[in-house]
Amino acid sequence: MKKNAVKRIGVLTSGGDAPGMNAAIRSVVRTAMKMGIECVGIRRGYAGLISGDFITMDTQSVSHIINRGGTMLYTARSSEFVTPEGQQKAVATCKLLGLDGIVGIGGDGTFRGLQDLAKHGISVVGIPGTIDNDISCTDYTIGFDTAANTAVECIDRLRDTMQSHERCSVVEVMGRHAGYLALYVAMSVGATAVIVPEEKYNFKRDVADQIRRARLGGKTNFMIVVAEGAASAVEVGEKIKKELGLDPRVTILGHIQRGGIPTAKDRVMATRMGYEAVHVLAEGRTNRVICSNDDKVFDMDIEEALAMTKTLNPEEYEVMEAMSGV
């Protein structure tokens, strides 16, 4: 595809919603309009691409959404899209609408869907949007900062009552199979202990010993943060009661972390990534994903990106270990 050959693009959100997705949609649409490119919003992700659920978009259609959580285009998971028949229907919609490219906002599942479209000749670019921050090619994903701040606010409120009653609190945060959110939140709230899927869970070492250490240090209330992919907060609470004789209160934050007004960081990063995604398509590049490292926004090949592995920041985990139980 030659430069300036792009006349119309589509934008969709897929998988779990994340605060800042609307800011990314807004950026894609307004950048496209600025460059003389028409923009079509595909509603309900790949399911909408299959069924032809779309709306034409302009600068006014994305007014006053930068501060809204969720996604104005809605999102869904599509079992049909993973089939060859479903992909053919999606490609047919792209051809019918005359789309020269697709911008997909979501996690690794969204990127794999874009890969499938690329195999059928559709130009695609992915923007990482997930509160889990588990996309290996990028230091940051849209929604992480808001979700972390939401969890911190909730835990700070819980701490007030735990201190008043001198109790133990066990809080389960989201993150799927990754512990980035849990570790970040645990450090932010000064948790007594944190349980993450990247480290093999041992109750005595990771919880009991930390609580005992804190109690011997004079503390009478304890905060345990659990990543949902590492252990069950309910089971951790039950074991604390059985092994330590405490009466813990268990709180599962759940989907409350996905909603709410996006932070300034999520809005700015989403805007920068959306801007970059449209420029990548306009330059005739495809099968790309937008990344951010050291505050620099750039693009790389999706297949290369998905082949990468991501681990917890060893420095953050080391710091958290030093802080645990104190």
Tens digit of each residue's pLDDT (9 = 90 or more) over 213-260: 999 999 999 999 999 999 999 999 999 999 999 999 999 999 999 999
As a whole-number percent, the residues of the chain with pLDDT over 70 amount to 98
Q: Are strands 124-128 and 168-173 parallel, antiparallel or unpaired?
A: unpaired
Domain map (residue ranges) of the chain: 8-143+262-307, 145-259
State the Cα angle at 185 between 183 and 187, rounded to 5°.
Answer: 70
Q: Which residues contact 229 (CB under 8 A, 6 or more apart)?
A: 175, 176, 177, 178, 179, 197
Catalytic, out of 53, 132, 206, 266 = 132
Which architecture does CATH list for 145-259? 3-Layer(aba) Sandwich (3.40)
Q: What is the identity of the amino acid at 291?
A: C
Taking the alpha carbons of 150, 156, 159, 164 in that order, is the dihedral positive or negative? negative
CA distance linking residue 186 with residue 281, whole number of Å: 39
Same fold for the pair 8-143+262-307 and 145-259:
yes
- pTM score, two decimals? 0.94
Percent of the chain topping pLDDT 90: 89
pLDDT in tens, 173-224: 999 889 999 999 999 999 999 999 999 999 999 999 999 999 999 999 999 9
Q: Is the pLDDT of residue 1 over 60?
A: no
Active-site residue flag, 132: yes
Give me the pLDDT at residue 2, please: 45
What are the tens digits of pLDDT across the range 99-122? 999 999 999 999 999 999 999 999
3-state secondary structure the chain: CCCCCCCEEEEEECCCCCCCHHHHHHHHHHHHHHCCCEEEEECCHHHHHHHCCEEEECCHHHCCCCCCCCCCCCCCCCCHHHCHHHHHHHHHHHHHHCCCEEEEEECHHHHHHHHHHHHCCCCEEEEEECCCCCCCCCCCCECHHHHHHHHHHHHHHHHHHHHHHCCEEEEEECCCCCCHHHHHHHHHHCCCEEECCCCCCCHHHHHHHHHHHHHHCCCCCEEEEEECCCCCHHHHHHHHHHHHCCCCEEEECHHHHCCCCCCHHHHHHHHHHHHHHHHHHHCCCCCEEEEEECCEEEEEEHHHHHHCCCCCCHHHHHHHHHHCCC
CATH 3.40.50.970 fits 8-143+262-307, yes or no: no
Query: How does the average pLDDT of the chain come out, rounded?
Result: 94
Which range (71-75, 100-104, 160-164) has the least confidence?
160-164
Residues pairing with 41 in the sheet: 11, 55
* Phi, psi for 299 (deg, rounded to 5): -125, 155
